[in-house]
Structure 1
């Protein structure tokens, strides 16, 4: 059985370990090859985003969750390089209009945080410009960006294509009642399986001393719910749904 609950003490240890990793980055940068500089700066941004994730698992205040967002956005703005993050093939690389999984899921999570924290439009502009410059067409990215840019065209594509899920059907569904029911089913039957190729999949099964489990949270689903403004009462208590980021009137 999948368990999404650990003790507060466990998550505090996870956070301490992640912050230790982050604090070691400046020293590591001194020994890195210059060609790897951007890669490790983006890795720093990913680690800082994971800190937000862990802090949510610790039920910390929104102000604490928001603290590192400006730094994350600036790191991405300055160091996100197409040749690093885009899927490529061949010795003379041909680059495809999609991101490697690690960067795909990172971008998805970061966009979700921007929506859920309702941050300034300038943050959205930075990620929009990066995605558009990379010529990546991803319907989930588009929909999350539409929170601040309502005229944005929503692509029907989503990556990874497998395992196939119904998240785009949820996005395109116009009937709010139907949409709520679809989200309920998606969280219960599809969401976790949709990440079977992610590095964190089944991390709850790892020995606790590895401190690799951050909590399973469907941040992008909550962001979709927020944008649509649909009733979440039928799935609000789902273990993957980060309900504390969605305030009901």
Structure 2
């Protein structure tokens, strides 16, 4: 294989499993995308306006509340962004711990057992490489046992072994799962969902603390480790 044109080229999405540097680069990228998805919501970007208008409405039910109205108009898009942000971050968490975040091909007999296991628990990178490694397909190096799709959001949150590896508190897992369910309403609008876990006075404080600790601090630490100071994130302040 050495010396062939393209033999030193890797399929970009598979390069993530090559070494720590490439893994950390993708963890940073996923967490940054999650951060920007959160920042793009009215809930987080215009929280002070929402809070002031909410107080104003308590005093006068006819008060004009343009920010609240705007958020209500686009609430499904808001929830979609929140759900996407959490999904990206959870996959970054798994990847940082050297787990495979791609779906493993169940149609290939070589990987069928590993694919079955993946529906129950996260699969470590080394488990895959103990079976097979990169293969040169004439154009680039690929991992033939990986599919294009990544692990399902529902699987991440609702399988015990995934929960253990993600190391989320029960409360935070419940909040994230709430946004997962709300995200799906963009496909099925009108369905009533019980969201008691999201209807709390301190929700914003919980979200901001989580984002700052788990996303911002992790990203900035890896950025310093990789010499990528330009990709550092600023902590959210409410």
Shorter-chain TM-score tier:
under 0.3
> How high is the TM-score relative to the length of structure 2?
0.27
> How high is the TM-score relative to the length of structure 1?
0.26
The higher radius of gyration belongs to 2
